[in-house]
Structure 1
Amino acid sequence: MRYLFEEYTFDTSLRELRRGAEVVFVAPQVFDVLDYLIRNRERVVSKDDLINAVWNGRIVSDSALTTRLNAARSAIGDTGEEQRLIKTLPRKGFRFIGSVQEMRGPATHFGVLSEHSHNPPTLTSPPRLSIVVLPFSNLSGDQGQDYFVDGVTESLTTDLSRISGSFVIGRHTAFTYKGKAADLKQIGRELNVRYVLEGSVQRSSNRLRVNVQLVDTESGNHLWAERFDKPIADLFDMQDEIVSRLANSLDAQLVEAEARRAERSLHPDAMELYFQGMACFNKGRTAEYTTRARGFFERALALDPKNVEALVTMAEVDEATGTSFLADDRAARFAAAETALIKALSLAPQHARAHWLLGRVKMFTNRAVQGIADCEQALALDRNLANAHGEIGHAKYFLGRGAETEAHVQEALRLSPRDTDAFVWMMFAGLAKLQIGADDEAVVRFLRSVEINRNHPRTHFFLAAALAHLGRLDEARSAVQAGLTLNPNFTIRRFRAGALGDHPTYLAGRERTYEGLRMAGVPKG
């Protein structure tokens, strides 16, 4: 039996623990402790249970047991303080709380069948978000470029492994396929993965082109394709940019693909419900989408109250309900979001998205400086988290420093130009331009936000305010109607009640926005 959790593979047949493709040394008794905890993860295991199972009932001191547990935690990247995977319940015992996928059947080295094997393993369904990045093809006709092409493949493998809940085949295994004709369905069966990412790199004169495509290994269907084409500058900087863009785009694409799979499940589990909720939430910040998404997350948490992803995104639903003025109880929504995020971070202290979202909640509760610190912590954990850059730009607007917002938004767009939240970042940029009286530039940015996602009511209202200041009242009124169609409850009164700072420049910008909303015909409330 093999158990997959986070980036680890725990193989009871080979008595082997791997992190990605690398073997982690585990002493025999420590392996047995992990084995027992993982196999009995549905319940709390007492000290006596462990002693009976691992030491056959022999007398074992508390310090010896503690030493083995600490070694088990260390082997899987956990600590007694974090207890991200192995939880100690005082006076009760211990429990493995990580999300685990099971694979049955005889194992093979790196999960790859030998070319002489005639008895392929019998596996369960591939784990969710399981993917292999095949070595990209070098189409440049210059073998000297192989180092760059291989660097893109290796870096992308590393960055995709940061997607929460993903299972990414290690680069050593992936590179066994280099230079070979690829039957993607066969590779999916051999590695027991749902998705294959393949691509090519071509250098021509002073330009570089990268083509990449995501393939469903069960059907062979192409789910997504992207082209990256730009002038060559510094190759290492370009490699980082390519990888970050692809990793951010793939995050959203994989969630969408998993949501489609989950729709076919008669009895969805917590993670399947999470993917469906996330896909729904990504469509827009309207009452319809947030309500539907909330329903999925509530069902997921009912099945698994410690599901960190559902906790974090439920918090995001509450935060979005407050920031989008979809309800009057904004303070209660922000408080609920903060409580859920603190719980999520107690379970997963290194969860970058939770740190970013906690920063956003603090910004919307008049704690912008603290919020920036949380976003910087998120970026320290995940350098590709474009949302954190965008949010820092938003915080600068709250602090009366709207002239600095654009640079942060552009950095977010550089990392993830087709991000599902790009419309929010463009709205931040528009608000900052409105704050400094650059109304023409504000309109351009608000229109771009609407073009990316028309289902975000606030942008329509802010666009109306900017248009009104330019004297384009007919267009402003049309924008108001578009906003009210999405959120009939939006009023100037609700918006005025949501001031999030006390800097004179910020407050003056708010007054300009109120006046623009009035001229455009937004209900006073």
Structure 2
Amino acid sequence: MRYLFEDFAFDTDRRELHRGTEMVSIAPQVFDLLDYLIRNRERVVSKDDLISAVWNGRVVSDAALTTRLNAARSAIGDTGEKQRLIKTLPRKGFRFVGTVEEAERSTVEPAGSAAHSGDTKHVPASAPRLSIVVLPFANLGGDIEQDYFVDGVTENLTTDLSRIGGSFVIGRHTAFTYKNKAVDLKQIGRELNVRYVLEGSVQRGSNQLRVNVQLIDAETGSLLWAERFEKPVADLFDMQDEIVSRLASTLNAQLIAAEARRAERSLHPDAMDLYFQGMARWNKRWTPEHMAQARSFFDRALALDSENVEALVGIAAVDAASATLLLVDDPRVRLLAAEKALTKALSLAPQHALAHMFLGVVQFATNRAAQGIAECEHALALNRNLADAHGSLGAAKIFAGRAAETEACILEALRLSPRDEGVHRWLSYVGGAKFQLGADTEAVVWLRRSLKANPNYPVAHFQLAAGLALLGELDEARAAVKAGLALDPTFTIRRTRGISWSDNPTFRAGAKRVSKGMRMAGVPEG
């Protein structure tokens, strides 16, 4: 159905909003809110009505609802002051008051539309950001009894991808209409109005399971990313869970990178374009340069939309990481700023998994380890595939004096995302835990693994130097300090004391041993 009002066309089938021939960018949740208001324009709808329809009854703050209403008004050229189209009735609710004409979509097409024209050369430019269909994986083994396993991978991956913030994922019932059919991926993109198509296959041998996946740009048909991995056949349900978790974790980063490349071609980037470009930098190595670039994009996004939740979380992530990785001399200031941004983000989006995770990081780095652990666990309850939340949980355990539990958390992070950018950090957390447990030899082993994953990680060089010095290997320790200072010439022992990390006696004893080792290795005192 198409709803026409003023010079706008609101298409519920294709989930598009046009002003004349121009496509208006609109977030999926804002689209749903506007859809509900227009469909129910003959009556006043209450706040509870909107929450039930748009958020499925989840707890939503007044600030979050106001933000979405303001975004809906902005998309159709209205404001909270004018209320020309969306009127707020105090203590009653809201009503769409514009004059609306209904039209079947096939009778009125916007200029240049390819819908139903037989033109399969491109996807409409209006395909939503992060829009994807997961096609049914192919069962290459030919064993019909294995179909349930292969279909389960498709269904669960569809569900998990929908947890990505701002994603638009085609439902499994629609996706399964393409099962066992020869398909033109560009045509599927046009038919479903999605930017990306994921296809894959599963092949089971006598004792080995092989999974192949490909992420395709539905507009061009080009391959964006491919992965293949094999595992010994074990418990099929456990394997299904691991396959889905790995793919969902990796695809999150791959889709953001693809959206960032699109955004770079935009002459007039909006807040979400800038957010994706910031995240693409963030997902690279966490160097001061990359984080500064990411922060710049997030700042620009907030300048356009002061309540952009993703940009708020991005800024908090940069500040929290800069502080906890000892990259700056003002960690307390950075952590305070991060907590302020996260508090605002969570007031707008209470169920934002990454926001909860980074709030946990801020808390365990500011002598609130128990709260930090709870926030990381909350993040995992919201998104079980958030590998970095397992890593952060492992770090939080150190600050709580529970270092013996850290390794298991890190192993789970590695299982979910073995090629993650954060692998070197996670490995170094285990090294830190081993120091606390007095296992200096094991700490050195884990820190060497960290530096093998990323030789350009300064903190691990200084940690390694401490471990080697404590073991009496002073020549190697000094070499590690030299390597660390080459990467970060400003690093000092004083910087490690710039945060009131924790007053847990077990943690403090371990931290003193690391400082002693650094001092023995020749790290500048500062």
**Alignment check: 8 A CA contact 2:312 2:342 kept:** yes
- 1:425-473 CA deviation, whole Å, 9 max, x = no partner? 1111111112223223222222222233344321221122122223333
2:65 is the counterpart of 1:87: yes
TM-superposed deviation, 1:494: 1.3
TM-score by length of 1: 0.82
Q: Return the alpha-carbon distance in structure 1 between the equivalents of residues 104 and 287 of structure 2.
A: 46
2:359 is the counterpart of 1:358: yes
Q: 1:486 to 1:99 in 2, by over 3 A?
A: farther
Q: Return the alpha-carbon distance in structure 1 between the equivalents of residues 517 and 285 of structure 2.
A: 24
Aligned to 2:282: 281
TM-superposed deviation, 1:402: 1.4
Amino acid at match of 2:50: A
**Alignment check: 8 A CA contact 2:477 2:521 kept:** yes
Trace 1:35-114 onto structure 2 (pairs within 5 A): 35=35, 54-55=41-42, 65-67=44-46, 69-77=47-55, 82-83=60-61, 87-88=65-66, 95-96=70-71, 106=105
Aligned to 1:112: none
Q: Return the alpha-carbon distance in structure 1 between the equivalents of residues 32 and 369 of structure 2.
A: 48
2:296 is the counterpart of 1:295: yes
Q: Return the alpha-carbon distance in structure 1 between the equivalents of residues 189 and 513 of structure 2.
A: 57
Q: 1:15 to 1:350 in 2, by over 3 A?
A: closer
TM-superposed deviation, 1:13: 6.3
Aligned to 2:380: 379
TM-superposed deviation, 1:318: 0.8
Amino acid at match of 1:408: C
Amino acid at match of 1:131: I
Aligned to 1:468: 469
**Alignment check: 8 A CA contact 1:78 1:85 kept:** no
TM-superposed deviation, 1:148: 0.6
Q: Return the alpha-carbon distance in structure 1 between the equivalents of residues 447 and 38 of structure 2.
A: 50
Q: Return the alpha-carbon distance in structure 2 between the equivalents of residues 218 and 105 of structure 1.
A: 26
Aligned to 2:243: 242
TM-superposed deviation, 1:248: 0.3
Q: 1:502 to 1:107 in 2, by over 3 A?
A: farther
Aligned to 2:142: 141
Q: 1:326 to 1:171 in 2, by over 3 A?
A: same
SS at match of 2:296: helix
Q: 1:14 to 1:132 in 2, by over 3 A?
A: closer
Q: Return the alpha-carbon distance in structure 2 between the equivalents of residues 206 and 80 of structure 1.
A: 44
Amino acid at match of 1:246: L
Amino acid at match of 2:52: S
TM-superposed deviation, 1:482: 3.0
**Alignment check: 8 A CA contact 1:283 1:455 kept:** no
Q: 1:175 to 1:98 in 2, by over 3 A?
A: farther
Trace 1:425-444 onto structure 2 (pairs within 5 A): 425-444=426-445
Q: Return the alpha-carbon distance in structure 1 between the equivalents of residues 337 and 422 of structure 2.
A: 22
Q: Return 5+ residue gaps in structure 2 as ranges.
A: 4-9, 17-30, 77-102, 108-114
Q: Return the alpha-carbon distance in structure 2 between the equivalents of residues 348 and 356 of structure 1.
A: 13
Aligned to 2:343: 342
Aligned to 2:421: 420
SS at match of 2:299: helix
Aligned to 1:34: 34
Q: Which moved more, 1:119-128 or 1:409-418?
A: 119-128
SS at match of 1:268: coil
Q: Return the alpha-carbon distance in structure 2 between the equivalents of residues 519 and 100 of structure 1.
A: 62
2:451 is the counterpart of 1:450: yes
Amino acid at match of 1:334: L
Aligned to 1:225: 226
**Alignment check: 8 A CA contact 1:423 1:448 kept:** yes
Aligned to 1:197: 198
Q: Return the alpha-carbon distance in structure 1 between the equivalents of residues 451 and 301 of structure 2.
A: 31
Identity %: 64
TM-superposed deviation, 1:222: 1.8
SS at match of 2:201: strand
Aligned to 1:185: 186
TM-superposed deviation, 1:499: 4.8
SS at match of 1:197: strand
Q: 1:479 to 1:98 in 2, by over 3 A?
A: farther
SS at match of 2:70: strand
Q: Return the alpha-carbon distance in structure 2 between the equivalents of residues 78 and 429 of structure 1.
A: 40
TM-superposed deviation, 1:286: 2.7
Trace 1:394-413 onto structure 2 (pairs within 5 A): 394-413=395-414
Aligned to 1:265: 266
Q: 1:100 to 1:259 in 2, by over 3 A?
A: farther
**Alignment check: 8 A CA contact 1:286 1:487 kept:** no
TM-superposed deviation, 1:181: 1.6
Amino acid at match of 2:350: P
- 1:459-495 CA deviation, whole Å, 9 max, x = no partner? 2211221222233334333332332233222100111
**Alignment check: 8 A CA contact 1:406 1:429 kept:** yes
Q: 1:194 to 1:268 in 2, by over 3 A?
A: same
Q: Return the alpha-carbon distance in structure 1 between the equivalents of residues 284 and 74 of structure 2.
A: 27
Q: Return the alpha-carbon distance in structure 1 between the equivalents of residues 496 and 432 of structure 2.
A: 14
- 1:162-190 CA deviation, whole Å, 9 max, x = no partner? 01111111111111111112322222222
Q: 1:383 to 1:475 in 2, by over 3 A?
A: same
- 1:133-162 CA deviation, whole Å, 9 max, x = no partner? 111000112111111100000100000010
Q: Return the alpha-carbon distance in structure 1 between the equivalents of residues 481 and 183 of structure 2.
A: 53
TM-superposed deviation, 1:79: 5.5
**Alignment check: 8 A CA contact 1:285 1:324 kept:** no
Q: Return the alpha-carbon distance in structure 2 between the equivalents of residues 169 and 458 of structure 1.
A: 43
Q: Return the alpha-carbon distance in structure 1 between the equivalents of residues 486 and 464 of structure 2.
A: 15
Query: Number of residue pairs matched?
Result: 471
**Alignment check: 8 A CA contact 1:321 1:333 kept:** yes
Aligned to 1:331: 332
TM-superposed deviation, 1:78: 5.8
TM-superposed deviation, 1:32: 11
SS at match of 2:128: coil
Q: Return the alpha-carbon distance in structure 2 between the equivalents of residues 414 and 99 of structure 1.
A: 43
Amino acid at match of 1:363: F
Q: Which moved more, 1:505-514 or 1:480-489?
A: 480-489
Amino acid at match of 2:34: L
